[in-house]
Structure 1
Amino acid sequence: MAIEQPDMTLKAIGFVKNQVAQPVQGGWEEVISEIVIDRRLTDALDGLEEFSHIVVLFWMHKTSGEPTLKVHPRGKIEFPLVGLFATRSPRRPNPVGETTVRLLERRGNILKVRGLDAINGTPVIDIKPYIPRRHSVAGARVPPWVTKSGGISQRLEDIYRRLMDGYGPQHWWPAESPFEVMVGAVLTQSAAWSNVEKAIAGLKGAGALSPEALRRLPLAELARLIRPCGYYNAKAVKLKSLARWLGEFCGDDLNRLSAHDTDTLRRELLSIHGVGEETADSILLYAVGKPVFVIDAYTRRIISRLGLAPQDTSYAACQALFRDNLPVDSGLFNEYHALLVSLAKDVCRPRPLCPKCCLADKCPSRIVK
């Protein structure tokens, strides 16, 4: 016997105001938003400022398409196929989002919050205070896949928060164009970044920082211009190969690269002379905006000392550590990798400065003096 469902009317009580224009899968922890409440409801906010956290319910108005009744949690095929209501997938019959956020400030009808995973203009449908004894359940049971994903995920997320608190946004890669990122990714092989900057400045000064200009430039002249970064003869050949590939693959239109799926584009990049996995992934992440995590010597050093390195120490296995335990998001991967580089250069050096490290209390390899 079918049960007739009643019609319902839902009214927004306000909207979200921030700098995020499109939905992403991660990196919301440090996003500052304002929740602008209908002025007629201002008095209903009285007393809310006494709570450190609030629960925000919102309508995910940009979610499109019919919901799938069975999904892999977080879109990861290594997790079991489960019912939609056993996950937090945004594609739901009623696209209601719910997030606990830090309440930073109340100004009249405006709430300033941190960590709200809603884009600019999102309708807000309700707000509740976060009360630990109601919202935190001791001994709650969850499926094994949640526990499996949660342990490492929580460690990686905690590391990210600590690094962000300690170093702030890195705004990496420092370049004026995607092609400059690609050139820098090649030049930085076995080179200090300060020397890469000198080499790029030389290319700019000669008007040679474009694929076409590199193809026209004599090999010896190119090598001379990039001499500060070391291995300049070999790197000149690599840059020539990269420039030739760009002309053949996309007609020097780098905007066309993003139209290709990540795996296809990665295989193409790896076919270029002098482009290995780290260089290819740096190009994918920083120049094209694809969600791949770059594994370099700094990252390997840090995850090894933290006891997070997989038994299989291959590039792919180390990359899977981040890909399988964090939201697959280019912005998050970009910032996380850049923060690891900053940590490695600052304190997690070959001879570490453990007492100054923001991760020292969580590091089994720390040196105690």
Structure 2
Amino acid sequence: MAELVIPIRPMNGGNGLYSYSKNSIIQRKAIEATKELINKTIAEELDVNTFSSSNTFRIADLGCSVGTNTLLAVKNIINAVQHKFQSQGNGTKLPEFQVFFNDQASNDFNQLFTSLPSEIQYFAAGVPGSFYRRLFPKYSLHFVHSSSAAHWLSRVPEEVEDKSSPAWNKGKVHYSNSTAEVIKAFEAQFAKDMDNFLKIRAQEIVHGGLMVLILPGRFNGAPHANNYINKAYELLESSLIDMAKKGMISDEKVDSFNVPVYYASLQEVEAAVKRNGCFNIELMENIIHEKPQPKVMSATFRAGLEGTFKEHFGDEILDELFDKLLYNKLQESSLHSKSCESVYLFVSLKRNTDA
């Protein structure tokens, strides 16, 4: 496999003003909104007899970042698995739980593990590395969870940064309001990454094991430009362009920068699952997500993108960039109109026993 390019920096670590720990309420609400769907998946699809020979139930959270969101997700999963065992008369044979928290090697794992409660129901371990690579031994995981992570691409599509390509995204840093060629390049990169993601997970998850993906996305067939998060990115892009016009950053810096994210539809995810052939789709739903207020949106962007913007543009522009985004863009925008939807995708998969 060719070496992957991972251009995005991890979410802001620590517990400071602009940390992910303090500015990830949007992501937390997605976990809360899908709790009952995870309960339903485990109650209906987890075959405890499959794991009766193992004393350990292994869970991985991919793209865990820092703070308490991942801890909440893991707690919900473990509670649901325990309830499933007890409901089948296996209460005295509850397994021990091992939880693997995965993110990039430069993620602030120290902040994550200092957030662990003093008494937990599981054995915790950190697993550094991109989830677009193998992370675990074959057939070792019983449940994989990933929330607000799989929309990050392994890289910016090459043609988007190629000046000789029709898909060169000149003067922009996002895809949704760009040319058809740029949008197609991001669509293709997402399909390639999701194919790779599923291929790798199929090797790591036991037959009969479950995987739940929760990712911000859009409705089937909906224009990319009508998506709430894409609209917010367009405003961030506009803030950068304003700063370039003032000479605060160069046009070349803008031309050479693209955010490696893509907001897919359930149809696109379903197509990837069918191409892979190793998973059955158990449940897929669009979850309407509450549109955050401008201050929350700006803080979320800063917590998630500050490291990446600092690396490319320098730290001198950060305060003005996110102030401009908040006060001159988000507060004056029409993001809360009915035509602009905020959607999360919920995808529940079960590893085939015959593939």
Q: Same fold (TM over 0.5)?
A: no
Q: Kindly name which structure, 1 or 2, has the bigger radius of gyration based on alpha carbons.
A: 1
More strand by share: 2
Q: RCO higher in 1 or 2 (8 Å CA, sep ≥ 6)?
A: 2
TM-score by length of structure 2 reads 0.23
TM-score by length of structure 1 reads 0.22
